[in-house]
Chain A
Amino acid sequence: MSDLYKALDFLNVDELYTDEERMIRDTVRGWVSDKFLPVIEEHNRAGTFPMHLVPELGELGVYGASLTGYGCAGLSPIASGLICQELERGDSGLRSFVSVQGSLCMYPIWAYGTEEQKQRYLPKMAAGQLIGCFGLTEADFGSNPGGMLTKAVRDGDHFVLNGSKYWITNGSCADVAIVWGKLDGVVRGFLVDKGTKGFQGKGIKNKFSLRASDTSELVLEDVRIHKSQMLPGVEGLKGPLSCLTQARYGIAFGAVGAAQAAFDEACRYSQMRIMFDKPIARFQLVQNKLVWMANEITKAQLMCWKLGKMKEAGAMQHFHVSLAKRNSCWMALECCRLGRDILGANGITDEYQMMRHMCNLESVITYEGTHDIHTLIIGRQLTGCDAIM
């Protein structure tokens, strides 16, 4: 391994994982150190994703890793969560790429697609030869996707789609878009291939966050697709929301990875940085910050592990995922803010990864349900009162 990264594991949570889960985690961790970290800062500066790594990640087997068949690895929920953790230790953009591909695109095809759709898309997507994107959000419908305006109308053996999607990860580089739109007033999923007439992805520029990730607008103007391009297995918001549950599960683990990166960098820095003739690690206030981080990371690790066990047992519900997604993103962002403080002025440059992670997490705490929306999902579960609408 080319970097000195030491993942915090204060309570030896490692012990709770199986041998294979640990090996998978270590393999992805090593890959991120060797292949990804050396190039991330330049891509972050340029606002590009390292596309040359896409097939390599396919060889590694991280796309749709928890799915079975069609070239997917069929891993345990905890193993696939730990993959997200290690990818996001590198960059939230890397984890986003893999989450979108696996949880948001391969999953709905796998769960709701026809056999023909599965054969056509899944093996190539697992290999990283075909990239997907997931179009749910619209410029005016974020937290309330049910209000979407994108719609489909029948025309013989075809559907004609009109509308637009905003904030779509991989929207410009994708070979296939899963576009959610209303057919007769009911939300349905449509597979729109790149190059279909009237369909276009346009990159959103000048982001402060997730710079090493393609975030785009999708424009659909009289896009004609064959009726076989609709996902037959699901109707209503349940379709996209079930995908989000999968992806949020990965984010809960992922954000822990970003927090571990922040802790590692801050802790290492505090031992090296001399101020008032002492390493700043000697100051109580600095220790207090590091302890806060370690405390929250450890709690989040245990929460994610338990969530994984519930997923494995088929007992995980969407509000359980909300609790973990909300907690992990919040604590990871706080860890980066504290870590940035420990780094002093050095922390504002990209010599250090802290601020990149911090900026990224501003997206991660917003997408796939904002922090507050998850608060309300959990609140509704606890009280029986819906405060969202």
Chain B
Amino acid sequence: MDIVVCIKRVPATDTAIKIAADGKSIETAGVTFELNAYDEFALEQALRIKEQLNAGSVTVVTVGPKDCKKQLDDALARGADKAVLLSTTDWMYDGMQVASALAAWIKTVPCHLVLCGRQAVDSDNNQLPANLAGRLGFACVTEVGKLTLADGAFTAERDIEGAREVVACKTPAVISCQKGLNEPRYANLKGIMAAKKKPFVEQPAQLGARGMEIVALSLPAPRAAGKIVGNGAGAVPALIAALRETKAL
């Protein structure tokens, strides 16, 4: 089975976000980037499927600026066979445009399964997997928490409001991965050394028309300072009064 894993570079989750001078993007100077956590589940699942079948290939792809090479290298070190950078000049936030670029490229390569994270934790748009599946004409199962493969067909389990849904699905398919699906492996040091010998393709992304545009970004209003009502058990009445005042009780 030839598997494509779509990954994205996102600012580390502990980054203190600053808004850039243009008022609609974030200041990237001093920000450390990492592989989107949900994409790690997707990559791990792809590697496990390949190991289970003892055949096929795992290709990681991203749409983004050249700096994304680091995250692709990381994926190669963990065991992906090939990396593809569909390069853009800017940070990509429009799921529509990214899906169009990915679909255009996926159509040119052998692919039975596309695995993605359920969402990218930077823009949280949560639209790429379904959008991509639509463009490719593939089946689509999102936010999968358990995935098994037997006799060429997948059984996917996903949490829905108050219940667990079990879905059967054939390839070709796009599956988006939820936390809990697996525990992603570490790259081992030999893997890191082997990564530099693996194929790395860079080509310009064929971006379709823009579907949306960020017109303004603003930070949430700073939280009001906390208030210390006293110390020890004696402070309980004051605390209750304060909570009543704010209608928390």
Contacts and interface: CB of A to CB of B under 8 A. Distances in A.
A62 interface: yes
Interface size class of A (residues with CB under 8 A): 10 to 19
A31 B14 CA distance: 18
Contacts of B77: 23, 27
A60 B14 contact: no
Contacts of B188: 27, 59-61, 73
Contact of B193 (A31, A59, A62, A75): A75
A27 B73 CA distance: 12
Contacts of A74: 193
Contacts of A23: 70, 73-74, 77, 187, 192, 195
A300 to B, nearest CB: 23
A157 interface: no
Interface in B135-188: 186-188
A75 B14 contact: no
A61 B73 contact: no
Interface in A1-49: 4, 19-20, 23-24, 27, 30-31
Interface in B37-75: 70, 73-74
Contacts of B190: 61, 73
A60 B186 contact: yes
A256 B190 CA distance: 24
Contacts of A178: none
B234 to A, nearest CB: 23
Contact of A20 (B14, B186, B193): B193
A31 B77 CA distance: 15
B104 to A, nearest CB: 29
Interface string B174-215: 000000000000111110110110000000000000000000
Nearest to A72: B190
Interface in A60-77: 60-62, 65, 73-75
Nearest to B78: A27
A335 to B, nearest CB: 24
Nearest to A71: B190
Nearest to B187: A27
Contacts of B74: 23
B186 A24 contact: no
A57 to B, nearest CB: 10
A83 B74 CA distance: 17
Given A4-B14, A20-B196, A60 B189 contact: yes
A65 B189 contact: yes
B189 A27 contact: yes
B192 A27 contact: yes
Contacts of B186: 27, 30-31, 60
A74 B193 CA distance: 9
Nearest to B191: A61
A61 B190 CA distance: 7
A61 B189 contact: yes
A61 B186 CA distance: 11
Contacts of A20: 192-193, 195-196
A59 B187 CA distance: 10
B12 to A, nearest CB: 8
Contacts of B14: 4
Contacts of A62: 189
20 contacts: A4-B14, A19-B70, A19-B73, A20-B193, A20-B196, A23-B70, A23-B73, A23-B77, A23-B187, A24-B192, A27-B77, A27-B187, A27-B189, A27-B192, A30-B186, A60-B188, A73-B193, A74-B193, A75-B193, A79-B189
3 closest residue pairs by CB, A with B: A61-B189, A73-B189, A61-B188
Given A27-B77, A73-B193, A79-B189, 15 more contacts: A4-B14, A19-B73, A19-B196, A20-B193, A23-B187, A23-B195, A24-B189, A27-B188, A31-B186, A61-B188, A61-B189, A61-B190, A73-B188, A73-B189, A74-B193
